[in-house]
Amino acid sequence: METFWYGAVTLMLAVYVVLDGYDFGVGIVYPFVARTEEERRMALAAIGPVWSGNEVWLIAAGAVLFLAFPKAYAAGFSGFYLALIIVLWLLMGRGLAIELRTHIDHPVWRQFWDVVFAGASALLAIVFGAALGNLIRGVPLNAEGYFFVALWTDFLPGPEPGILDWFTIMLALTSVVLLTSHGGSFLAMKTTGELRARARRVARLSVYGTAPLVVLVLAALSVVQPSFRLNYDAYPVGYGLPLMGLAALAALLVFRTRERDAAAFAASSLLLLSLLAGTAWGSYPNILIATTDPSLSLTITNASAGKYGLQAAFWWFIIGLTTVMIYQVWIHRLFWGPVKTDSSDLPAH
């Protein structure tokens, strides 16, 4: 049962990264591709009906983590308290920017919120990338199962690392480039005209940067976290996940070159899913890896809730997850296709 809930949390976080990831990507490319007010409204309208719903996956993943692994939830939220507060403010700022930029018809007002939207989107990609790097590398857990991480120490992974080191910075940069490509492909798929052409160019350039960064990250994993390969060596079927990611990366390069926007977006989605699934496979059964002493790591066994609680929540989780997935498919299907340029209420929901 603990393995099921580990997979459930991983799935929900991966779906969040794919769905809200293209929202972040649209925000990152927004200042470079949307040059007129009409184009800015089109770009915001592309994510307008879905961006708030996409964020539900993050909230739900946190709730499931609290339900299934309360000790890991408590340790992670206390150790990464500053980072989580930053994420909260950035999410609020991005949401306010989307909602408030059209409330006053003045260029300075709109430009202010455009900067907030783009800046918050880029910073969220950086923070989430660095957070993933911290989870892979590990944190200095003590005997009580808690930790404190300085913002930086010597920029090297070790027993007492900082939030920022060369590996987590590499993950942050990779996250920004990946989501830029992801969001650019989505925006190209949802728009027309010059906005679409610029989105295609930005997405294509970011794909060229994605390929070497993904290869570097995969090569650095075994150096930063030697235990990461144990599950792959014990169960070689897991190698299918990084191989799937490399195949998705190759497909993304081909589709982006041929300007097949929907196919490129699907390939970047598969790339994100496979990379995150591969990370979960290598980390299992650890939720928080201890850099101080491997025996202090929080795993699905020593951090889980009681067996009865996990079993009782199972069917409620299945019902809730099915409902959310049906809604997500329906809402994306409802707003499928390019944004209409003649809509008078862009970017309203």
Q: In this predicted model, what pLDDT tens digit does every residue of 7-62 receive, in sequence order?
A: 999 999 999 999 999 999 999 999 999 999 999 999 999 998 888 889 889 999 99
Q: Tell me the C-alpha to C-alpha distance, in Å, between residue 264 and each of 126, 143, 188, 345.
A: 23, 46, 10, 29
CA dihedral sign of residues 126, 129, 135, 139: negative
Closest CA to 39 of 48, 30, 47: 30
pLDDT-based confidence at 348, cuts 50/70/90?
very low
Per-residue pLDDT at 347 exceeds 80 = no
pLDDT of residue 344: 43
pLDDT, tens only, 135-171: 999 899 988 888 888 888 888 887 888 889 999 999 9
Closest CA to 131 of 120, 143, 139, 121: 139
| Cβ contacts of 150 within 8 Å, gap of 6 or more | 162, 163
The answer to whether the beta carbons of residues 211 and 253 sit under 8 Å apart is: yes
Tokens coding 167: 């590996």
- pLDDT more than 90, % of the chain: 66
Average pLDDT over residues 183-206: 94
pLDDT of residue 83: 87
pLDDT of residue 349: 39
Burial class (CB in 10 A: 0-12, 13-18, 19+), 59: exposed
